[in-house]
Structure 1
Amino acid sequence: MIQHLHDYIPVNSIKELSVYQKILDNTAILVLADEDRQIIYVNQKFCEKSGLKRDDVLGKPMDILRASDFSKDELENMWLTLEQGNVWKGELLNVQADNQTYWEEAVIYPFRSNGDKPYQYLSIGSDITPFKNAMQIKDQFLANMSHELRTPLHSIYSLTNLLEETTLSDEQSSYVENILNATGILMRMVEDMLDLNKIENGQIRFQSKIFNPQIIVNSLAKMFREKAREKKLNFHLEYDPSVPEFVLGDPFRLKQILVHLLENAVKYTQRGDIFLKCRLAGNNPESFVFEFIVTDTGIGIAKENLAMIQEKFQQEQMDDKRIYKGQGLGLSIVKQLIELQRGEFTISSGETEGTQVQFLIPYQFPLSEKADDPLMTNGSEPEKTHTMRVLIAEDVDINQLVIKKHMQKFGFNAEFAENGKMAIEKLRTGHYDIVLMDMQMPVMDGYEAIRIIRNDFPEPVKSIPIISITASVMGEAPRKCLEAGANDYVPKPYDIKDLRMKMEKWVNPTVNNQITQGMNMKQEEKKYESLIDLDYLEQLSEGDDDFTISMLSYFLENTPGVINELKQFHKDKDWKSLRNVAHKFKPQLTFMGIKSVFNEVETIEQNAANEVKTDDIPALIKTVEEICSKAMEEIRSELEKILDKNQD
């Protein structure tokens, strides 16, 4: 090692260099490789961590320890960076001699002269496995916490909404309003924590949808104008008429950003005005650049604190006391969400001078050839293709009914398999263009079925497009679906147009670029006034009353039996059957829009699957039974209205 580093460390003697080596041996994992990436030196720390002897690795490739499931793209990028003469820093997943894996944080230095190809590479690393394990525990804790908090919060919020519709005194109405406000704050806090965790782990994903920004801005202006009026503040909206009507981007994140900023503006302003401005800041051949400005005349922020409050969990303080309550996540999340969309965030303020937040976000043209979403044609008709043949692996009867309905409307031929094993059998004998694969099924789940298709089948079946469909939308579910071999991912409940677009995209990419998607972007702010919300069912039915009648009737006929099965399987301690019944009942709740007990049913499913907290299940079943009983009365009423309409 001394010989190899003599040219790179400025020391006056070999003895002094030996001191450096001893220090490094006790603190870092060292690897030195030649121009061909062959190892020419490793230190004792490397041997201790890897479980290998020095002679076992000398002359071997520098990547000898890399785990097989470590990203090949990441490795390629690493070597590309190094060969260009740049230092690389990152995390590496390695395998020890006993096949145990460990994470190493490494800095790799390329040594070269006169701009030539590097003639040596020095890696200085440290074991960060305990840190990675702690992060994994934290992620799991946040996922569990979000579920445990969401369940009671949604119950409180939904039941309080129902209470609000009853006859109340002024004092009681005030209490109800405060409960709703407090619950809303807690729910947003949970969502903020999850978003921040996703951002830190690089798991945040942005949609690419055609939307009308003015609809979002107008709806938020209406909401916050009322909030401002309650504090005797003036609310002003300026919307540039040159802003395009439709763009391609993430409408949910835009709304999330504006809600955070407007909430802060109202919260920290005691008198004066709130301004919301939207204008077109510029455009280029591929995108529009939107500028949004939120200004208030509130307490302002001391200039020396502007940078600090953009960090997570930080709020400005004065006289050692927090000025306003809150978790201090808002601006940190806003800033990162904007920058992750290739935008720019600036804030200017001064104590007692108010605050102005300005941000720029580029949105694509809806007609951009690079868009991943359905593209609008210039009056041209979609290309004619043969009828698509679809294999659908789905074990829930009501889900089969819904998907079959849509495949018929699309003009596609559909066949069903009740589990992954049946899907594989059908693929051996039938001919299909695409597979829609539910990921949670009995006998054989979607993950195993996809792996068999990708590994055991010959071409062209081996490469058949597969879209995974699952209700697991948290954590790493999308990544796991793709890693199993799926081409794409659709969450339940899926958007009909989104599903069709993805099917067209993978079966015929050329046709996908010509799909005409209607731009009637109906968006409403709707307050739930009942236990059911049939908006989603109306979207599914597309005006077909027979379909709606069949869905409503199915729920009325099926639900009492489901409740009885839940009770009986719990009594019998048949946890597998209990889990399956709860799993199959969730789609029915989604179709009927009975959101107030969805979390209870999901908890029953998870507790039964893991055989934990089984004593809590009877109370959950009782809640489900009570809410569903009331919801069924409303469903009967809706069914009668449709039947009466059809008789006229």
Structure 2
Amino acid sequence: MLKDLIVNIAFITVFTFFFSHLFIKNRLVLDWKQKIVLGIVQGVFGTVLIYYGMRYSSTIIIDLRYIPVSVAASFGGFGAAGIAGAIMIVCRLCILPWSEASWSALVMLVLYVCGSVVIIRWIKYYWYRWIGFMVWLVAIMMSVGFFVLNMPLHILGIICAFNCLGGLIAAYLLSYLIRSEQLEQQIRSMQKGLQRLLRSQPGFTATVVRTDPGTYLYTLAEGQLLSEKGWKPEDFEGKTLDEITVLSITEQEYVRACFDRVFQGEMVTYEPGIKESGILITMQPVYEKGEVGEIIISGMDLTDRKQKEEADEANKAKSRFLARMSHEIRTPINAIIGLNYLLQQTTLHETQQDYVSKSIMSAKNLLHIVNDILDFSKIEAEKVELEKIDFDLYQVINEISNIISLKAFEKNLKLRCHIHHAVPNRLRGDPFRLNQILLNFTNNAVKFTENGEVSISVGLESIGEHGVRLRFSVRDTGIGMTEAQQSNLLQEFTQADMSTTRKYGGTGLGLVISKNLIELMGGELHIESEIGRGSCFTFTAEFDGSGKTSSGKEKESPRQNLRVLLLCDDDEMKLVLNNQLEKFASAVVIADSQNADHEGYDLVIIDWKLKTANVIQLADRMRRASLSSKRPIILISAYYDRQLQHPEYLTAFDKVLQYPLSQSSLYRELNALLLPESKGGEQEYKQADNFDLLQRAVVLLVEDNEINQLVASEVLKDAGMIVEVADNGEEAVKLASLKRYDAILMDLQMPVMDGVEATKRIRRMDHASHTPIIAMTADAMKGVHEQVIEAGMDAYITKPFDRIQLFGVLQRLIQKAI
């Protein structure tokens, strides 16, 4: 029986891996031809499972036919599931003689197909859906087996257990394949984008490796400057320096001398003056494992000395930017490689291991391209085309509020939204880019504000027959900026605080991108700020359309002749809500909070910020005095405040809504209130071999990124080490002062205190003066190695790191320190 179980699991694994291309890429098969193919394949698969069923006794054979039906239903719907079930029924009649049990099996299969279709329609979350499949299968088996076939419960339990085990195995394999496909698609998309970036640059970029002493091979050559000079990428790529026919022998010898210098660690800049046009050539070394592995060559066409000086300054500025940003860009790639490595350490099928290895390889290929960009001193922005689609402005603002509100809550900030009543809610333009701009400004506002509030306001600048012009403002009560900081704020790669210990991270590109998008929308950006008193970012944008508040037929009221009492002191909110409610054919009465007669209404909406009444007490009086205890009372607020989450608000009102709401969102909320009837085990990691000295070594990991902490900790624990974690340099100094560690792994760029300063302070401690300290950073730019050695560190490892290299460095330094 165990042998039969292994055979069935092997069949499930093989079929899942080799036929997953039918449905994995799309997650849902829509074409009827694909549904037929999917149904046929799963039907054949189910027939195989029936034929190789597990023999429990001479009369009882357990098969896993329901798993292919689950797969077909999950990815192809009723059509695919029905085809799979029909094929299995026909094949079973051909394989086994017909009996009374055959009727029961037929009924169970039909019931399972129908139930599976219902499950996939109502349950969208992947694992909940598979749990639903298994629960439905157990219910059918237990009911038919016990009441119809009179099978003992312990046998039914074994049958259900086997089917659930097979179903969970299939679900896990499919989940892994889906995630792998999504990751590979993302990596392929990023690779194509980076290649387009290189090809569209006005200069050119090339990479060179050394195959033998004095022999240099071009591995990449892209850029518009090549075609301007009459060259092609094929003239360089895959050829050695001696094979480059566009260069004379004298020029080849000069370039070879430059390559020799660069591979010694020197950055070389020169002007060859090819074809009567000055070209500024920059050759920069790229370090791999502490040695120069390749050369990045960048070229820029200079027509006069002024252009050359500007290019020199631009290269210096972008080199500084690359030095700061290499850590930020490499971090997600480090996470992809690290997490896939951790997955590799688990028990996987050979084919699964192959997929994981290919994912790691793809991520490393992406890392190689990113390194080319990072080490290249010229970055060009790609062209952006705006969409022209209909969208709901209130929905965009609501989404921004929902995203930012959590961060605001964490810092105990108030978040307020204000929309002028004359602003149309239906617009035509690019909601994604508008969301991007607002999200950038509001994220910055929350990031630079410790107390007070952040407000988003939208006003009407002008309206005409063919379009509208709106004014958006994001105001905060944060740290503010000086005039000097404001003047530099919209320069590329610039932030107010550029030090490695800066409290507020970021690339310095967000505002520049936002400014360009605003200009594409026909608007302008204006910044007002005062140090210590906050900032206000105001911009205008134009949208197509007549500015009508809606298009098409409005939704009907959730209830006929709905009467709504609106208690609101905010004039703009009052007009907006009144306009939205009247579109539902509702009778809306706006009243004063003190003199409101609340009887005879189907719904009461109360603004949180009433000037003359306590909203909780007001709601309580209404409930006690009301003739109908079922009348809903809604609290609506333009503020996202932590106080609204207190139980007294949640119990005093039937619903707490955040303003603004889109027309459709308001309809759903009212409909839900007025028509309620419509509504694994621990894994063991193998210890690394050949690093006995690392067993039980106590290591302090200093890293501010949570994903990097997870990856590095698991890798170190894999070798048997005991790991303690510090989130920044200051914590590392405190922990190092309390005990002696066998080694310290130190990130360089961290908030509060960077790795260089932390190392200097740790070295002043007597018990830690000889403790091995290893720099772990994603910054691969020239000069970092010298910087960390000068600070007192013993070694330097670039992220993403190779675990064998890391273990080797740790063992060597720990042994040396003993």
Whether TM-score is above 0.5 comes out as no
Higher gyration radius (CA): 2
**TM-score of the pair, normalised by structure 1:** 0.30
